[in-house]
Structure 1
Amino acid sequence: MSVLNPFKLRMRGADAGKQGIQVKAKSGSVRSRSRIMLAMGVVFAVYGTIGGRLVQLGMTGEPVVALPQTRPTASRPDILDRNGQVLATDIKTASLFAEPRRIVDIDEAIEKLQTVLPDLDYTQTYRKLDSQAGFVWLRRQLSPRQQADILALGIPGMGFRTEKRRFYPGGSTASHILGLVNIDNKGIAGMEKYIDDQGLADLQALGLAGPDTLEPVKLSIDLRAQHVLHDELADALERYHAIAAAGAVINARTGEILAMASLPDYDPNNPYNALEKDRLNRVSAGVFEMGSTFKLFTTAMALDSGKIGLNSTFDASKPMRIGGFTINDFHGKRRVLSVPEIFIYSSNIGTAKMAEVIGVEGHRAFLKKAGLLDRMQTELPEVATPTEPKEWKRLHSITISYGHGVATTPLQTAVAAAAMVNGGKLFPPTFLPRTEEEAEQIAQQVISPETSAKIRYLFRLNVETGSGKRAEAQGYYVGGKTGTAEKVVNGRYSNNKRFNAFIAAYPSNDPDYVVAIVVDEPEGEKPGMAATSGLNAAPIAGNVIRRTAALLGVEPDFSHESGALLVSYQ
Structure 2
Amino acid sequence: MIRTPLRPLARILRARERGENPDDIEAENRRRRHEEIQDRARRRAEGRLILMACCFVLAFGTVGVRMGALASGEPAEPRTQVLSAQIMSQRADITDRRGRVLATNLLTHSVYAHPHQMIDPVGAAQGLARIFPDLDVERLTRDFTGNRKFMWIKRKISPEQMQAVHDLGEPGLLFGPREMRIYPNGDIASHILGGSGFGNEGVSSAEVIGVAGVEKAFDAWLRDPANEGAPLSLSVDLTLQQAIEDVLASGMNVMNAKGATGILMEVASGEILAMASLPDFDPNDRPRPLLTGEPSDSPLFNRAVQGQYELGSTFKIFPVAQALDLGLINPSSGINAKAPMRIGRFLINDFHHYGNELSATDVIVKSSNVGTVRIAQMIGVDRQKEFLEKLGLFVPTPIEMVEGATGQPLVPPRWPAVTSATVSFGHGLAASPLHLAAAYATIANGGKRVTPTLVHGRQRPEGEQVLSPRAAAMAVDMLRQVVTRGTARQANVEGYEVAGKTGTADKPRASGGYYKNKVIATFASVFPASDPKYVLIVALDEPSVETAAGESRTAGYTAVPVAAELIRRVAPLLGLEPATDEILPTIAARFEPRVEPGEAPEIKLVANQ
Pairwise TM-score range, normalised by the shorter structure: 0.7 to 0.9
C-alpha displacement of 1:231: 0.6
Instruction: Give the partner amino acid of 1:548.
Output: V
**Does the aligned pair in 1 maintain the 2:339–2:350 contact within 8 Å?**
no
- 2:330 and 2:356 mapped to 1: Cα distance? 19
| Residue in structure 2 matched with residue 465 of structure 1 by the alignment | 485
Distance in 1 separating the partners of 2:85 and 2:409 = 38
Give 1:500-515 correspondences, 5 Å limit. Answer: 500-515=521-536
The Cα of 1:309 is off from its aligned counterpart by 1.4
Aligned residue among 97, 114, 134 for 1:119: 134
Q: Deviations over 1:43-79 (max 9, x none)?
A: xxxxxxxxxxxxxxxxxxxxxxxxx989945521111
Spell out, residue by residue over 1:349-407, the C-alpha distance to the aligned partner (whole angstroms, 9 max, x if none): 00011000111111111100111111111211112100111111111000000000000
Residue 94 of structure 1 aligns to a residue whose secondary structure is strand
Percent sequence identity over matched residues?
41
Distance in 2 (alpha carbons) for counterparts of 1:359 and 1:119: 63
Range with greater deviation from structure 2 (317-326 or 458-467): 317-326
Paired position in structure 2 for 1:324? 345
Superposition TM-score, scaled by structure 2 size: 0.76
Contact 2:122 2:144 in 1 (8 A): no
Q: What's 1:550 paired with?
A: 572
2:563 pairs, out of 534, 541, 547, with: 541
Report the equivalent of 1:522.
543
Partners in 2 of 1:102 and 1:526 — Cα distance? 70
Asked whether the equivalents of residues 189 and 382 of structure 1 are also in contact (C-alpha less than 8 Å), the reply is: yes
Q: How does 1:307-386 map to 2 (within 5 A)?
A: 307-383=328-404, 384-386=407-409
Letter in 2 for 1:170: N
**The one of 451, 456, 475 aligned to 2:471:** 451
Q: What is the letter of the counterpart of residue 491 of structure 1?
A: G
Give the equivalent residue in structure 2 for 1:25.
Answer: none
1:158 paired residue number: 173
Match of 1:48 in 2: none
Q: 1:394 to 1:197 in 2, by over 3 A?
A: farther
Distance 1:363 1:272, change over 3 A: same
Q: For residues 303 and 138 of structure 1, what CA distance do their matches in structure 2 show?
A: 67
- The answer to whether the 8 Å contact 1:74/1:164 transfers is no
Distance in structure 2 (CA, Å) of the matches to 1:128 and 1:460 = 69
Q: 1:292 to 1:302 in 2, by over 3 A?
A: same
Give the aligned residue type for 1:537: A
CA distance in 2, matches of 1:169, 1:526: 40
Cα displacement string for residues 165-215 of structure 1 (whole angstroms, at most 9, x for unaligned residues): 2111211110000111013521011111122143x44x3xxxx489xx311
Counterpart position of 1:411? 434
Q: Are residues 1:86 and 2:101 paired?
A: yes
Q: Where in structure 2 are there 5+ consecutive unaligned residues?
A: 1-82, 199-206, 582-609
Q: Paired residue for 1:402?
A: 425
Aligned to 1:475: 495
1:429 to 452, 459, 463: 452
- Is this contact kept in 2: 1:77–1:217, CA < 8 A? yes
User: What amino acid does structure 2 have at the position aligned with 1:545?
Assistant: I
Structure 2 residue corresponding to 1:221, chosen from 211, 222, 236:
236
Question: 247, 251, 254: which is aligned to 1:236?
Answer: 251
Q: Deviations over 1:134-187 (max 9, x none)?
A: 543211111222222111111221121222121112111100001110135210
Instruction: Indicate how the Cα distance of structure 1 residues 300 and 197 shifts in structure 2: closer, same or farther if over 3 A, else same.
Output: farther
Distance 2:87 2:139 in 1: 23
Alignment of 1:96-175 (within 5 A): 96-122=111-137, 124-126=139-141, 128-130=143-145, 135-175=150-190
The one-letter code matched in structure 1 to 2:111 is L
Q: Is the 8 A contact 1:94 1:160 kept in 2?
A: yes
Instruction: Decide whether the 8 Å contact of 1:76 with 1:209 is kept in 2.
Output: no
Cα distance in 1, alignment partners of residues 477 and 226 from structure 2:
52
CA RMSD, aligned part only? Answer: 2.2
Indicate conservation of the 8 Å contact 1:246/1:261, yes or no: yes
Q: 5+ unaligned residues in a row in structure 1: which ranges?
A: 1-67, 560-570
CA shift for structure 1 position 275? 5.0
Q: Match of 2:537, SS?
A: strand
Deviation at 1:526, TM superposition (A): 4.8
Q: Secondary structure at the match of 1:446?
A: coil
The CA distance in 1 between the partners of 2:132 and 2:89, in whole Å, is 26
Match of 2:201 in 1: none
Establish whether residue 531 from structure 1 lines up as the match of residue 553 from structure 2: yes
1:445 Cα offset (Å): 1.0
- Larger deviation: 418-427 or 345-354? 418-427
Q: Quote the Cα distance in structure 1 between the aligned partners of 2:320 and 2:457.
A: 30
Q: Which amino acid aligns with 2:426?
A: G
Decide whether the 8 Å contact of 1:332 with 1:347 is kept in 2: no
Please report how far the alpha carbon of residue 130 of structure 1 lies from its aligned counterpart in structure 2 after TM superposition: 4.7
Indicate the larger mover: 90-99 or 475-484. Answer: 90-99
Amino acid of the structure 2 residue aligned with 1:552? L
1:499 and 2:520 correspond = yes
Contact 2:124 2:168 survives alignment (8 Å): no
Q: Does 1:387 align with 2:376?
A: no
Distance 1:404 1:333 in 2: 21
Matched-pair contact (CA < 8 Å) for 2:310–2:427 = yes
Match of 1:340, SS state, is helix
| 1:443 Cα offset (Å) | 1.3
- State the distance in 2 between where 1:394 and 1:355 align: 10
Mean Cα deviation higher: 290-299 or 302-311: 302-311
Secondary structure, counterpart of 2:211 in structure 1: strand
Amino acid at match of 1:193: K
**Distance in 1 of aligned mates of 2:345 and 2:567:** 43
**Post-superposition shift, 1:127?**
5.5
1:229 deviates by 0.7
Distance in 1 between residues matched to 2:350 and 2:219, nearest whole Å: 50
Cα pair 2:503 2:522 within 8 Å, conserved: yes
Code of the residue aligned with 1:80 in structure 2: it is T
> Which amino acid is 1:416 matched to?
A
1:10 maps to what in 2?
none
From 474, 484, 488, the equivalent of 2:504 is 484
How many Å separate the matches in 2 of 1:382 and 1:79? Answer: 18
The TM-score with structure 1 as length reference comes to 0.81
SS class of match (1:186): strand
Conserved? CA contact 1:246–1:518, under 8 Å? yes
C-alpha spacing 1:192/1:275, structure 2 compared with 1 (3 Å): farther
Name the CA shift for 1:136/1:246 in 2 (closer, same or farther; >3 Å): same
Say which SS state the counterpart of residue 519 (structure 1) adopts. Answer: strand
| Contact residue 462 and residue 481 of structure 1 kept, 8 A | yes
| 1:71–1:242 Cα change, 3 Å | farther
Distance 1:493 1:70, change over 3 A: farther
CA distance in structure 2 between the partners assigned to 1:449 and 1:196 by the alignment: 39
Displacement, 1:125? Answer: 3.4
